[in-house]
Structure 1
Amino acid sequence: MVRGKTQMRLIENATSRQVTFSKRRNGLMKKAFELSVLCDAEVALIIFSPRGKLYEFASSSMQATIERYRKRAKTKEALDPPFVNNIVQLEHFNHEEAASLIKKIEQLEVSKRKMLGEDLGSCSLDELQQLEHQLEKSVSKIRARKIEVFEEQIKQLRQKEKVLQDENAKLLQKWESEGGDGGVNNEGGEKMLNYAESSSPSSEVETELLIGPPRRFLSIH
Structure 2
Amino acid sequence: MAKKIEILEILQRKLLGQDLDSCSPKELQDIGNQLEISLSNIRARKTQLFEKQIEQLQEKETLLLMENARLSKQCGAQPLQQSNQVVSYLSSCSTSSDIVETDLYIGLPQMRCL
TM-score scaled by structure 1?
0.34
Specify every segment of 5 or more residues in structure 2 that has no aligned partner in the other structure, as ranges.
Answer: 79-114
**Hey, what does 1:140 align to over in structure 2?**
40
Letter in 2 for 1:152: K
**Hey, what does 1:151 align to over in structure 2?**
51
- Cα shift at 1:174: 1.4
**Hey, what does 1:174 align to over in structure 2?**
74
Superposition misfits of 4+ residues, deviation over 2 angstroms: none
CA distance in 2, matches of 1:144, 1:102: 35
Verify: 1:105 aligned to 2:1, yes or no: no
For CA contacts below 8 A with separation 6 or more, give which structure has more relative contact order.
2
Q: Deviations over 1:140-172 (max 9, x none)?
A: 001001101111111111111011011011112
**Hey, what does 1:160 align to over in structure 2?**
60
Q: Deviations over 1:166-199 (max 9, x none)?
A: 10111122123xxx67xxxxxxxxxxxxxxxxxx
CA distance in 2, matches of 1:170, 1:139: 46
CA distance in 2, matches of 1:159, 1:108: 45
Q: Structure 2 matches for 1:69-84, cutoff 5 A?
A: none
Letter in 2 for 1:148: Q
Letter in 2 for 1:116: L
Verify: 1:116 aligned to 2:7, yes or no: no
Specify every segment of 5 or more residues in structure 1 that has no aligned partner in the other structure, as ranges.
Answer: 1-100, 182-221
CA distance in 1, matches of 2:15, 2:57: 36
Question: Normalized per residue, which structure has more strand?
Answer: 1
What is the root-mean-square deviation of aligned Cα atoms in Å? 1.4
**Hey, what does 2:29 align to over in structure 1?**
129
Task: Give SS of 1:109's match.
Answer: helix
Identical positions, percent: 53
TM-score scaled by structure 2?
0.64
Q: How many residues align?
A: 78
CA distance in 2, matches of 1:131, 1:111: 9
**Hey, what does 2:103 align to over in structure 1?**
none
